[in-house]
Amino acid sequence: MPLAAEPSTFVISITPFDKKERFDEDGLRGHFRRLAASGIGVYVAGGGSGEAYTLSKSETKRVLEIGVEELKGKVPVRGMGKEPRSAKELIEFGKLCEAAGVEAMQLYSLDAGHGAMPSRPVLERYLVDVIENVSVPLVISTHQSVGYYIPVDLLAELVDRYPHVIGINVTNPDIRYLVSLLDLVGSRVETHVGGPMQALTALSLGATGYLSSEANVAPKLAMSVIEHWKAGDLAKLCDAFSRLLRLFNAGMSYGGAKSANRLLGVPGGYPRRPRLPASEKALQAFAKVLDELEIKEIEGL
């Protein structure tokens, strides 16, 4: 199956804060420079790893600006944002992305609140309102966090209607959804799966690649999965992918990318409430895993 683009991976970048939970601009610049050196694509101001739901409008604006200053022209740089409650909310983020000069923006699924499942007409109206009022290239997200998935035929229709819809980010544990989507959109747009879990499955089906938070810790390792895939080196591919999945498991168990980066001595900082720093016991367990996976050696630290 032909691809819309070369196989690739993107990291959902963290946003460093200091011990007093203040935005750490120097830490963010240092982190971006490390990501740029690895060659990985970067989503900035994201709602998951990036803790965008804690950022003020001025902080969000600054994260986007620094992302463009440090990354543009070196690696792909895109704005991600957080789950919106209305089209207006995401259009406002789109204007910040336009002003900052990011290369593309994720169009998050609507979070209707109170467990509501938007009808197809509501979803279409929401998506069209955003698409027609944001000029930067858009990557539509269909993500399990909002409790529903955008119908694949609606996604295909939007790809047909709007040339500046350049991709779809798919976070869905049901592989049938991904297969159905790829059958409809084919190679017309990029398709990335959320998280490393389905990375090799997605690539084998003709998807473009995967997104991850783990690349905040080990960007070279994350990139090597794509490089070994392209080279057809099965042994190296399996080794790199196994390490990446074990890093994913450790991050979910022991405190995430910021904890790992502090252990590695690289920019990362601390979380902002409601998230809390990892306990000393968790940090000790995480340090052991990082050593076992040889992350310092792989990353040249």
pLDDT digits (tens, 9 = 90+) for 124-135: 999 999 999 999
Model pLDDT, residue 5 = 74
CATH classification at residue 142: 3.20.20.70
> What's the rounded Cα separation, in Å, for the pair 28 and 270?
12
Tell me what the mean pLDDT of segment 94-110 comes to: 98
- C-alpha distance from residue 31 to each of 11, 41, 45, 189, 220 (Å): 12, 13, 13, 29, 13
pLDDT at position 189 over 60: yes
> What's the rounded Cα separation, in Å, for the pair 151 and 106?
17
Whether 26 maps to a domain, the answer reads yes
Give 114's pLDDT tier (boundaries 50, 70, 90). Answer: confident
pTM, whole model, 2 decimals?
0.96
Whether 151 maps to a domain, the answer reads yes
What is the DSSP-derived secondary structure letter of residue 133?
T
- Amino acid (1-letter code) at residue 90: L
Whether 1 maps to a domain, the answer reads no
Joined together, the tokens standing for residue 118 give 């938007």
pLDDT at position 1 over 70: no
For residue 113, with 0-12 CB atoms within 10 Å meaning exposed, 13-18 middle and 19 or more buried, which class applies? exposed
Give 4's pLDDT tier (boundaries 50, 70, 90). Answer: low
Whether 300 maps to a domain, the answer reads no
Alpha carbon 25 to its chain centroid, in Å, reads: 20
> What's the rounded Cα separation, in Å, for the pair 171 and 197?
10
> Any residues with CB less than 8 A from the CB of 291 and at least 6 apart, and which?
none
Whether 258 maps to a domain, the answer reads no
How many structural domains compose the chain? Answer: 1
Other C-beta atoms lying within 10 Å of the C-beta of residue 297: 9
Show the domain range for 49.
8-244
